[in-house]
Structure 1
């Protein structure tokens, strides 16, 4: 939901360049093998291997980031909107027009270093006692600041979403700010399935 909010509403209004980085809940939460959570975390982790393969093969970092976004958007739509985890990496790559040879990365643990590197960069900004999403920005003073969240149950109306973004950016300027939270109410509302990136 946070990605939908940033991509659909905030980015065009605040002229953002979004760079996608991995965070593996398999690495982060270390669920026991055989548990239901392990299966979901392992599947998305292995999809991140494919994404990192695609990123590495691109001619420029910008092109790699755009291709990772295509995969992320399509995988997220299938998992959250279609409630479907019964697809292969090959099918995912085909659906967004990328070279299906990257599907071999799904079972290739050599891509785990790239995932850990991206993950570690995000966690270095916010600490290890968080999950996903992590948002980082480059502040006017040249420093990079980040936070865990916001965790939202649905994308807010655009005017509220922009006000929320502006408030969160302002809080990043305050070095002593570290947490803001309230109890979740209601279920998740993913909205309409997004168009393919």
Structure 2
């Protein structure tokens, strides 16, 4: 296997340096090594019937595979960068911030979030009991941004449920006034 890896490396080096003008001494020695390994590889793989190339233009299947792989890479790298898909843009409103209006920056501590999270889970269970056939609110992650809890809702009904439920949660700490807002509405710091 080591011989095949060296052969592939030699093919890469040779294709990169062969025909290049003004190569350094180090590159010249690499090219000489590569030329030697390519010759050795061709002699070795010519003896193996399973390594025969499917296309006549290649010495063996290793070179054929490397050429095909190289072409696939160059095609991939030449693709223009794609703009954000419309579906991705339309889902941005599903990422919301859960803020505490009693803090001038809307922040809450991790301990406070645990209390809020606990009540949200209880609200989900209550909803499951009250309307077992109704679609359940689902989330696709959560995180923090400068002390503000960020939640990613999977769909509009989840976002609407959260906007309705959060302000009704019992005050967990003195002065707490929780609200769900668009991520862009996070107060500046």
TM-score range, shorter chain: under 0.3
Q: Which has the larger radius of gyration?
A: 2
Q: TM-score scaled to structure 2, two decimals?
A: 0.23
Give the structure with the higher percent strand: 2
